[in-house]
């Protein structure tokens, strides 16, 4: 009988701990700050594309003029 009790205690000690209850996922946070930071970057990228297109057109005009 003591061996059976010892065996039961050993088996209980080797069992994995119960998984704690999961908390609900965090609520989405406002993205106003991220948008305020990203807006000038996006605007600068658009301007960069415009400037690059103008430079390409000018280069093509110079090449067409024989320069």
Convert the pLDDT of each residue in 14-60 to its tens digit.
Answer: 667 778 888 887 777 888 889 999 999 999 999 999 999 999 999 99
- Interval 9-15 mean pLDDT: 68
pLDDT (0 to 100) of residue 22:
81
Which residue would you say has higher pLDDT here, 58 or 9?
Answer: 58
pLDDT bin (cut points 50, 70, 90) of residue 67 is low
CA distance 39 to 31: 12
Domain boundaries of the chain, sorted by first residue: 30-67
A 10 A CB-CB count for 3 gives 7
- Interval 9-18 mean pLDDT: 70
């Amino acid at each position: 009988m003591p061996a059976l009790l010892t065996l039961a205690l050993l088996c209980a000690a080797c069992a994995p701990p119960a998984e704690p209850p999961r908390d609900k996922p965090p609520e989405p946070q406002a993205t106003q700050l991220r948008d305020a930071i990203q807006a000038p970057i996006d605007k600068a990228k658009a301007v960069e594309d415009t400037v690059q297109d103008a430079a390409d057109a000018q280069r093509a005009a110079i090449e067409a003029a024989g320069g």
